[in-house]
Structure 1
């Protein structure tokens, strides 16, 4: 085995520079992810002007219904490989062939279900869309273990580059298809092309190649671990999709399209960064699984830094959402901007709620994570049913309120094995939460009281600057919580020096 491949299978060990490596990896990942998000937004701008809301609604119905499929293919085995203290090439090969087999099986199930999807929604255009989307599931199973090995060795910059390459290729093809007049097929082609490119890039970046599988007791344990992970991710994904599933059943496709584009903007601005920090946080904290005190300390520090930067970003997005959407997508998408202004508020609590996965995975308690996924799904079904009679706006408010109510309990449940309680979470994220809520309220007052007659671009600039000043005044000035600024500055300088 070459030295480069052997590095993927080294045993997890704590190191003195673990925190710095994790923060550096997190910053690099988020920067690349925001580049990815910017590209997604550029694609959304162009495609929104070339296509109709109904086109987005049709594709959204299928993608939401099949959103659980990639999770079944991964089967939690990516997290299992990254989290394990020790793995062998034969064990990873076994997980690779399991993921590949699951990809083929899920693709066949989705393809067989395509006539049923078209019948339920009474639109035959949905059948060929579902058949095309099924191709991406076969491709997904071919990359999971390569990405897991890159994550295991904390090569988050390389992972981000792979994802960025896939996004760029899919975007170019989608825009070309839209210009050529292919309508909603432009949106269908984008994930297919992106998946093909990610497979090629992942196999090029990771020198490991699958071989003969070894199905020993350790692999069986990893599969059980993965089963619990996929239990959570399927439940959680369904909880995030239940809003669009319900809207698709009771409202017109264009209403689903408005809601979907609002959710896309939220995902590419707030949720995308949080998903990157999940990979970094769980991989880094897994190296401390034998030291609960150190794990608890590093978790609190990581949550504090993440909350310091992401919570005000969510608040500012909420304040500027309507202007931002109109400027980016055009006047016909103004309804999406109103929905985004509501959905963005979820980002404040999403920071806390999203950190639960770090704890569950680093502690090896994916079974508890699965339990919480079911609780989250039930809570969101209840919330969406309550908001559904009030249309897309009612559903958006229901989603935000539902997730906000379960954010703190989710972390307390995840941290119970190592005594993480309310006091630790309050110290880590309390000032930032108060600052973000105050920022959103002050920003909305400024928008309505003083800036109503200003142009959208000028209003966004003034509101953003004002909100940033309010947040710093509350968090740094009032609560004296400026340590994340110092730490982030040190890491950025470190990254610049190494570059």
Structure 2
């Protein structure tokens, strides 16, 4: 019983610190993005988008699932950590070499000569990341997200300020490259400084084989995911040019500030925490039900409200040259609604050690992606985005199937856990969108008035209809903030 309490306490604490980390990093990133959007052109973001496609794939090769294997391993010793550390560095060097040699071919594909130098410089981030990936894995295993917060916040802040400085002096796309490299370098330095583990000169091929027996399937699945995830930018850039790709990529970054902030925070914590329950399916199911309830309770109103208030938000924050990105962002928000369900169902496969199923589902989803993209690109960027909405719905079927088989978490139960928050948040945001469309207020007043009223209405409706995630969220918050706990106790005794 005490073990359950300690695990729950550490998990809640981990979610708090990880959410704070993500919120702080994304907050800094949002501020930097606002400033850079005023100093840079859509074409600059388009060039970064083209580069990111290949740098992200190279990063997947560098990781190769080793980090996830280390996190999931029940026991890790110095030999295992050393082996993982040196394997990541070697793979990072190989991945960068591939990028360096392939840069001219990539530039030729896009018919953009500037990409050669940009890719060769930006690709250095793969090597830098390989130097701190094991430090991050150790802290994640120990649910020590507070230390990761202390490392990531100053790294994000310093790199962001530097990027704005470079952009102000007409650095163009190089401002974005500097931000990418400096953020990774500072994070590596801070993690090495704050974290006690140091590698020694040992390497065990048997340990490497064991890590890869689990990790390589995750690597292949992640590689396929990154390829298909970035295929949209590749297609848009090649068909519609760097400026349109920049609008798409910019919208995607704004959406990530809201969606990924929460989902990554919850997933980052629950994977190592619930991995400790991998042999106890009943408790594992209950844990994931709570994760889904809380995640959707928080995420859905944020996503829907972002879509509803996108137009006045862009009026306030960005120059007119970014307005064509508004419908892109709104459709992306709709497409991301099932993202937490996908992530949670796939996490169950990883926790149960079924990386074979994880890979199989990933392959199936990639076939779906390419099939839908083959038809949707003919209708322009909007058609591609609508295709993403359909893909999210179709991909949920194989994702959720094995959750029922492995831990008895059926589609019907998942539906009951997320649907109340979905209905209430969609209704409230629909009213807000209608109010904005007929409003005569300034954009600032629209965001303030309708944003506040919509948020209050959502919370009140969730309380009235007793949405599961509502009470669970405030119970968790009560563990962190005593004043909330006292309010909950009073309401129960009333």
TM-score by length of 2: 0.93
Q: Could you give the per-residue CA deviations for residues 249-294 of structure 1, whole angstroms, max 9, x where no partner exists?
A: 1002111111111000011221132122211010110011121111
Report how far residue 405 of structure 1 moved: 3.1
- Provide the aligned C-alpha RMSD in A: 2.1
Counterpart residue number, 1:3: none
Contact 1:311 1:347 in 2 (8 A): no
Could you tell me which residue of structure 1 aligns to residue 225 of structure 2? 236
* Pair 417,93 (structure 1): closer, same or farther in 2 beyond 3 Å: same
Using the alignment, how far apart are the partners of 2:394 and 2:384 within structure 1? 15
Q: Where does residue 296 of structure 1 map in the other structure?
A: 285
Is 1:486 matched with 2:474?
yes
1:23, distance to aligned residue in structure 2 (A): 1.8
Cα distance between partner residues in 1 of 2:398 and 2:423:
18
Instruction: Please give the alpha-carbon distance, in whole angstroms, between the structure 1 residues aligned to 2:203 and 2:409.
Output: 38
Distance in 2 (CA, whole Å) between partners of 1:293 and 1:86 is 23
Going from structure 1 to structure 2, the CA distance change for 1:261 and 1:490 (only over 3 Å counts) comes to same
Which one of the candidate residues 5, 15, 18 is aligned to 2:7? 18
Whether the 8 Å CA contact 1:29–1:157 is kept in 2: the answer is yes
Matched residue of 1:348: which SS? coil
Does the alignment pair 1:362 with 2:354? no
Local SS of the residue matching 1:17 = helix
Q: Which residue matches 2:433? A: 444
Decide whether the 8 Å contact of 1:282 with 1:358 is kept in 2. yes
Question: 1:197 pairs with 164, 186, 191, which one?
Answer: 186
Q: Distance in 1 between matches of 2:112 and 2:260?
A: 31
**Conservation of the 8 A alpha-carbon contact between 1:305 and 1:484:** yes
What's the TM-score, normalizing by structure 1?
0.92
Cα distance in 2, alignment partners of residues 477 and 15 from structure 1? 31
Residue 14 of structure 1 deviates from its aligned partner by 5.0
Taking the aligned partners of 2:3 and 2:40, their CA distance within structure 1 comes to 51
Per the TM alignment, residue 378 of structure 1 is displaced from its structure 2 partner at its CA by 2.0
Partner of 1:73: 62
Matched with 2:488 is: none
Q: 2: CA distance between counterparts of 1:480 and 1:192? A: 43
How far off is 1:495 after superposition? 11
Aligned match for 1:461, one of 418, 426, 448 = 448
Could you give the per-residue CA deviations for residues 29-64 of structure 1, whole angstroms, max 9, x where no partner exists? 112211111111111111111111111111211112
Unaligned runs of 5+ in 2: 486-494
1:224-303 paired onto structure 2 within 5 Å: 224-303=213-292
The 1-side partners of 2:466 and 2:83 are apart by 51
Retained in 2: the 8 A contact 1:108–1:134? no
d(CA) in 1 for partners of 2:394 and 2:311? Answer: 25
Match runs of 1:106-145 below 5 Å:
106-145=95-134
Contact 1:368 1:414 in 2 (8 A): no
**After alignment, is 212-221 or 200-209 more displaced?**
212-221
Contact in 2 for aligned 1:353/1:408 (Cα 8 Å)? no
Q: Write the mapping of 1:77-226 to structure 2, written as runs, cut at 5 A.
A: 77-215=66-204, 217-226=206-215
Distance 2:248 2:45 in 1: 10
Kept in 2, the 8 Å contact 1:14–1:287? The answer is: no
How far off is 1:116 after superposition? 0.3
Distance 1:309 1:426 in 2: 16
Matches within 5 A, 1:392-407: 392-407=381-396
